[in-house]
């Protein structure tokens, strides 16, 4: 009876002993390698506040191109690329352009004032504008 109680208390205390040092070890250390179930959940899936939040040019461009592909009024979907002009290449009129710019606003959760929105006529211009915004995401 005594022995089983000791075994039980050991069992109960054992994980606690392992758990406490785990977050302080980086993955390459031998102890962290022995208890791999703690490190991955700590290392992955967490975006630190100090992580760079910036938006790369290719990512912004890709998201706009995807958005245009889903837009039903584009006359020739094969012409959509990073340099397409809304009215010359894609056959959109001025009202469509307004719709595209609004969709871009929603996609990147920004608000584009009318003055700037009137200047955006191509994917290139839109990317340029978004990258200039501090709070685009």
Partner 1 sequence: MARLSGLQRDVLSLYRKCLREIRNKPEVDIGTIRLRRDIYRAEFQKHLSVNKKDFSTIEYLLRKGHRQLELYATPGIRNIR
Binding site for partner 1 (CB under 8 A): 86-88, 94-95, 97-99, 102, 114, 117-118, 121
The reply to whether 93 belongs to the active site is yes
Backbone torsion region of residue 91, taken as left when φ is above 0, otherwise alpha when ψ lies between -120 and 50, otherwise beta: left
Using an 8 Å Cβ cutoff, are 106 and 48 in contact? no
Question: 44 or 109, CB closer to partner 1?
Answer: 109
CB of 105 to partner 1, least distance (A): 9
Q: Which of 72, 93, 114, 135 is catalytic?
A: 93
Question: 25 or 89, CB closer to partner 1?
Answer: 89
CB of 52 to partner 1, least distance (A): 30
DSSP 19-59: HTTGGGS-TTSHHHHH-TTTHHHHHSS---TTS-----HHH
Sequence-distant (≥ 6) Cβ neighbours of residue 45 within 8 angstroms: none
CB of 95 to partner 1, least distance (A): 6
Question: 59 or 116, CB closer to partner 1?
Answer: 116
Q: Round to whole Å and give the CA distance between 79 and 8.
A: 70
Show which residues are catalytic.
93
């Amino acid at each position: 009876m005594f022995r089983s109680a000791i075994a039980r208390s050991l069992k109960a205390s054992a994980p606690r002993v392992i758990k406490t040092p785990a977050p302080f070890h980086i993955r390459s250390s031998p102890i962290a390698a022995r208890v791999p179930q703690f490190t991955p959940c700590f290392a992955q899936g967490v975006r630190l506040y100090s992580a760079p939040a910036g938006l790369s040019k290719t990512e912004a461009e890709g998201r706009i191109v995807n958005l245009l592909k889903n837009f039903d009024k584009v006359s020739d979907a094969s012409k959509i690329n990073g340099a397409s002009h809304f009215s010359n290449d894609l056959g959109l009129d001025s009202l469509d352009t307004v719709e595209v710019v609004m969709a871009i606003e929603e996609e990147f959760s920004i608000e584009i004032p009318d003055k700037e929105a009137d200047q955006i006529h191509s994917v290139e211009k839109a990317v340029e504008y978004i990258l200039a915004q501090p709070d685009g995401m």
